[in-house]
Amino acid sequence: MVNQVKGLMKKNGVVEIKRVLHFGSLNNVMMSVFGRSYDFNGCDGLELEGLVREGYELLGIFN
């Protein structure tokens, strides 16, 4: 994550730390649950991140 922050800082000059931490924690959970790491720049990782984001939204609404 430190290398990612460093690379984003060099590339953009600004880093959204919340986003880096979000993907770091999501990758940690996926490694614990599925036993593998995901590339969140690729198709599988983006789809998985969308599903997790939708799940968080559903948890936050009134049923």
pLDDT by residue, tens only, the chain of 63 residues? 888 899 989 999 999 998 888 888 888 888 898 888 877 777 777 788 888 888 888 888 877
Q: How far apart, in whole angstroms, are the C-alpha atoms of residue 24 and residue 15?
A: 14
Give the amino acid at 15: V
> Nearest 10 degrees: CA dihedral of 8, 51, 48, 9?
0
Residue at token pair 């984001």: 53
Rounded to two decimals, what is the model's pTM?
0.65
